[in-house]
Chains A and B, each alone.
Chain A
Amino acid sequence: MTGLPGATEKRLGLVIDLDTCVGCQACVTACKGWNDGGIGLSDQDPYGADPSGTFLNRVHSYQVAIPDAPAQVVTFPRSCLHCDNAPCVTVCPTGASYKRAEDGIVLVNEDACIGCGLCAWACPYGAREMDAAQGVMKKCTLCVDRIYNETLPEEDREPACVRTCPTNARHFGDLADPDSKVSQLVAQRGGYDLMPDMGTKPTNKYLPPRKKGPGEASPLAPLLDIKATGIAGWLDRMLGKI
């Protein structure tokens, strides 16, 4: 099982638009809420001095120093990238960590997990968190219990983070299909991989912030030399227009 399936028929994943994400954290708690009801995501010391809990999606906030321009702020959601070449899968001694052949989703079979943590070590992206109450590894399931769930209305069969995202910065689809909405977005907007040199071949892609700065409208030309004409001249010129 710890072998990778090779090319999968579908490559389901997320495309995250960093030009649109405002960092509202909605995806973080929507994920927590949905998956807490499913696989269970515990919290320790929830009202205490040192609270801690399992989350499958975290939103960071970075500032970017840019030469000759004001610094920018980019909020950055981080979760499992469902890599084609997932190192978290091959290190697993029990086969609990696996990548599905049919859609490429990387999952943990909790019934087989020994909680050794090696998969979390192997992941460069911090996509896995060990649940302290259950002692097994938790990770983004791409809401596998939503996307195929026939008890949900069809329009709701998408990951909880995507359904809740207020700015529509998160897109879900098949990245193996070049005509899918997500593949199109990646092509149009220059979607990229995180840490490509790690050789993980992530499925999820990030769309970079668009170029920022002042607009290109040509400067406004004064109607006339008001100093010379006075307000009266301005009024004449302006109101002659009506």
Chain B
Amino acid sequence: MHPAPSVILFSTLSGLGFGFLAFLGWGALLPSGGAAFSLWGLGYGLAVAGLFASTFHLGNPKNALKAFTQWRSSWLSREAWASVATLLILAPVALSDIFDLELPRIVGQIGGTLAILTVLTTAMIYTQIKAVPRWHHWLTPVMFLTFALAGGAMLSGCALAPVLLLAVGAVLVAVWQVGDQAFAKAGQTLGTATGLDRLGTPSVLDPAHTAGNYLKREMIFVVGRKHAAKLRKIALALSALLPALVLLLPLGVYSIALAAVLHLAGALAARWLFFAEAEHVVALYYGARG
């Protein structure tokens, strides 16, 4: 799949944002005043920036409001509801924190849980795509959730953060391990895609069209194996191992900031790989597994 900057930014930033909002809602930090304003601002900023980035992936964003209509069947629609609901429910909590309004914490806990559900809906957008076997696995939501929880914990200075970050690493390794087998396991080949497996083993002779098209640009992206291996190491180190170590450094808020920067960079790399390495079965028709 084409690793479009819009979707990478969207899913990474909003994942981190909603993760952090969850911790804020759950009361992991309980800040007040200016500090509360900054921290809630960061959470909202990340989440909203991510959502905004996602609109660049839309060909026709003027209809965006219609995306709320299909929550019964569409994960994307559910995500729209969940994200808006989260942001709305947590808003009084944030105001309460900033202005010490003493809103019952239960509201924050509900909002925080909704934030995690939002991340789950995002993950499910990808997980549901059977045509991309690498995504179509329970590890996909686990990965998204682990990233959100670890990121949230990290930004909240939660003691569990290093553990969660290491969990991110473990999940990434698992995702790659499982993912590398996923396409073969799904069992789709050019033979099944064309039904010509009844005859023998097909391969591409002449391209259907030598010119480009949406499918080739959007669904068929071939990433070099060596390049991917290197990026995986970088993603693993930056998103999980290094921030976990950095958090153990006695630098207070600076270690959190440094860990966050490293983690975000690693998360972007991991997310780039999430798309770039995902092979859509339509690529079979074009003789690629892209």
Contacts and interface: CB of A to CB of B under 8 A. Distances in A.
> Within the complex, are A and B direct neighbours (CB within 8 Å)?
yes
Nearest to B130: A198
Contact of B130 (A66, A126, A134, A199): A199
Given A52-B211, A95-B66, A121-B129, A3 B73 contact: yes
Interface in B198-240: 198-209, 211-215, 217-219
A87 B199 CA distance: 28
A235 interface: no
A150 B209 CA distance: 34
Contacts of B209: 55, 58
Nearest to B72: A3
A62 B204 contact: yes
A112 B66 contact: yes
Nearest to B70: A2
B70 A130 contact: no
Nearest to A71: B200
B67 to A, nearest CB: 4
Nearest to B54: A116
Contacts of A63: 202-205
A107 interface: no
Interface in B242-290: 280-282, 285
Interface in B17-46: none
For the complex of A and B, list the 5 residue pairs with the smallest distance between their C-beta atoms, beginning with the closest.
A115-B59, A135-B59, A126-B282, A66-B200, A94-B66
A8 B5 CA distance: 40
Contacts of A114: 58-61, 63-64, 66-67
A91 B78 CA distance: 10
B262 to A, nearest CB: 31
Given A121-B131, A130-B214, A61 B204 contact: yes
What band does the interface of chain B fall in when counting residues whose beta carbon is under 8 Å from A? 35 or more
B1 interface: yes
Given A3-B72, A62-B194, A120 B214 contact: yes
A184 B74 CA distance: 37
B193 A194 contact: yes
B190 interface: yes
B195 interface: yes
Contact of B201 (A65, A116, A121): A65
A122 interface: yes
B212 A50 contact: yes
A53 B211 contact: yes
Given A111-B63, A114-B67, 10 more contacts: A54-B214, A60-B208, A87-B129, A91-B129, A126-B282, A129-B215, A134-B59, A134-B60, A135-B58, A197-B187
Contact of A116 (B58, B208, B214): B58
A78 to B, nearest CB: 6
Interface string B131-158: 1100000000000000000000000000
A92 B66 CA distance: 10
A24 interface: no
Interface in A35-55: 50-55
A117 interface: yes
B128 interface: yes
Given A52-B211, A61-B208, A2 B66 contact: no
